[in-house]
Structure 1
Amino acid sequence: MGTRKKSADRKAEIVAAMLTLVAEMGPGCATTQAVADRVGVTQAGVFRHFPAKKDLWIAVADWLIKEAQERWAKARNCEKSPLDGIKCVIEAQLEFIQHTPAVHSLIFSRELHAQNDELRRSFYSMSTDFHIMLTDLAKQAQVDGELSSDFAPHEIASVLLTLPSGLATRWSLSGRSFNLAKEGARLLEVMLYGMSKVH
């Protein structure tokens, strides 16, 4: 049996190595040579699967988006009420960032977005999907009397979106010194209390 890996397996390995390098050193240090060294192939071996580096970045984004959407869908299916649904999907996103720190670095890399507009649009689409899901849950929570109707559902969703991004930034700057998911769940309760119909 040959030792050469199947193309799909090698691609997945390269994407995983890219994510690890981004998490460890940031997008700027995730060079194709660094990826090749991490995987144990030549740089030409990387380009055999991804003709240009932008193709590798798109593959990384595709994996992240697919993983995020699967986590959101699973979390939403666990909801007992719309408010529980909000808690579940926000906590799922926080757990995703904690488990895959590269996602935060890539979403907020202006340099990378300027170099690869397709990548920027992919992440914007992911953010939009998350906002739509939260808006729908907020609307349902208002109908059920769990959240105040003083705010538009899309405004509630926009405020909720700031929690994962803002807290992930503080988590990153702290050297990932605290449990992101647990701290996020605590702060989410504070936010939702402020939006609740009855205090």
Structure 2
Amino acid sequence: MNRKSAAVRKGEIVRAALELIGRNGAGALTTGAIADAVGVSQAAVFRHFPTKSAIVFACVDWIGDQVRPAVEAAATEPGPPEQRLRRIVGTLLAVARHIPAMPTTMLSREMHAEFPELKEKLRERRRLLHHTLQDALDQGKADGAFRSELDSSTAAYLLMGTVHSLLFRWHHIDHDLDLDRELAGMLDILFSGLNRR
């Protein structure tokens, strides 16, 4: 029987970890559970990842690899500024819907307490997202779509907070929440304050 390459096995470990986090929360992430899910020994898991932290960081990198190109594509599609921003925020929620581990990784106190370095890793990703949103808001101001006195940085954080609040409600309170409908309603309210009158 052919042995799997290190890259293939690492991918299996990351996918198993993401599945465990998404299905059962941060507390379910043990190397024993990962090993069982992949069908290898714990020693085999540690051959590919020296620590549990390394597995978590690999999961964050994998999520980032899904989010980044999707957001970049949404940000560069042509269209009015408000439409671009709605598309970016909608894309974030769409990706999260397909990666149940994403809200837990972003928002779980338990996970951040166990892996304190995770906060810095996520801070950099949030900074990049904030920059993308702020650029779109600045372009909207330059085009006359948004109020000239608008603080683009604060507005970008409001948009990010909208995503976080919806993900929290969906993941922790109401998994049947209609994310698209809720997002549209929240953005209608938000843009009523951003748009130039």
Query: 2: CA distance between counterparts of 1:68 and 1:169?
Result: 18
TM-score by length of 2: 0.93
2:190 is matched with which residue?
A: 191
Distance in 1 between residues matched to 2:178 and 2:12, nearest whole Å? 27
Alignment check: 8 A CA contact 1:98 1:181 kept: no
Number of corresponding residues: 197
Deviates more, 1:45-54 or 1:172-181: 172-181
- CA shift for structure 1 position 182: 4.2
Identity of aligned residues (%): 32
Separation in 2 of the partners of 1:86 and 1:175? 25
Question: Shift of residue 113 of structure 1?
Answer: 2.2
Q: Which amino acid aligns with 2:19?
A: T
2:54 alignment counterpart: 55
Q: Residue 36 of structure 2 aligns with which residue?
A: 37
**Unaligned ranges ≥5, structure 2:** none
Question: Structure 1 residue 94 and structure 2 residue 93: aligned?
Answer: yes
Q: 1:20 is matched with which residue? A: 19
Q: Determine if contact 2:107/2:168 at 8 Å carries over to the other structure.
A: no
Q: Which piece of structure 1 moves more, 170-179 or 126-135?
A: 170-179
User: What is the TM-score when the length of structure 1 is the normalising length?
Assistant: 0.92
Aligned 1:116-195 pairs, distance under 5 A: 116-195=115-194
1:49 to 1:80, Cα distance in 2 relative to 1, 3 A: same
Q: Which runs of 4+ in 1 moved over 4 A?
A: none
SS of the residue 2:145 aligns to: coil
Q: In structure 2, do the counterparts of structure 1 residues 79 and 190 end up closer, same or farther at CA, with 3 Å as the change threshold?
A: farther
- 3-state SS of the aligned residue for 1:41? coil
Unaligned runs of 5+ in 1: none
Partner Cα separation in structure 2 for residue 156 and residue 166 of structure 1: 15
Deviation at 1:82, TM superposition (A): 2.4
Over 3 Å counting, the alpha-carbon distance change for 1:181 and 1:102 in structure 2 is farther
Q: Tell me the amino acid that sits aligned with residue 5 of structure 1.
A: K
Change (3 A) 1:175 1:4: farther
Q: Distance in 2 between matches of 1:126 and 1:185?
A: 24
SS of the residue corresponding to residue 56 of structure 2 reads helix
In the other structure, the counterpart of 2:82 is 83
Measure the CA separation in 2 of the matches of 1:33 and 1:13: 14
1:51 match: secondary structure: coil
Tell me which amino acid in the other structure corresponds to 1:14.
Answer: I
Q: For the residues of structure 1 that align with 2:15 and 2:162, how far apart are their CA atoms?
A: 26
Distance 1:16 1:179, change over 3 A: farther
Partner of 1:104: 103
Deviations 1:75-132 (A, max 9, x none): 1122313222211111110111111121111111233223323322111111111111
Q: Is the 8 A contact 2:26 2:110 kept in 1?
A: no
Secondary structure of 1:197's counterpart equals: coil
Q: In 2, are the aligned partners of 1:79 and 1:88 still within 8 Å (CA)?
A: no
After superposing the two structures, state which structure 1 stretch, 155-164 or 80-89, moved more.
80-89
